[in-house]
């Protein structure tokens, strides 16, 4: 039993999985931030188009 716990304690596989998980979380947060800023400018653009169309009509 002690040998199994010692092997588990010395294993690096869990640490690598955690590192990949953290990297994936950072990439996801960066993507959400980028999409959020693009969405704000896109909504503003379509609001401007809607205003121009209603003024001409």
Mean pLDDT of each 10-residue bin along the chain, 57 residues long: 78 78 95 91 92 84
- Taking the C-alpha atoms of residue 33 and residue 51, their distance in angstroms, rounded to an integer, is 27
- How far are the Cα atoms of 14, 16, 37, 53 from residue 21, in angstroms, in the given order? 11, 9, 25, 47
> Residue 29: what pLDDT?
97
Q: Is 0.85 topped by the overall pTM?
A: no
- How far are the Cα atoms of 20, 23, 46, 57 from residue 27, in angstroms, in the given order? 11, 6, 28, 45
């Amino acid at each position: 039993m002690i040998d199994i716990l010692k092997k588990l304690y010395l294993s690096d596989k869990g640490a690598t999985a955690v590192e990949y998980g953290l990297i994936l979380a950072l990439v996801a947060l960066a993507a959400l931030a980028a999409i959020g800023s693009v969405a704000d400018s896109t909504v503003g653009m379509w609001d401007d188009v809607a205003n121009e169309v209603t003024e001409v009509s």
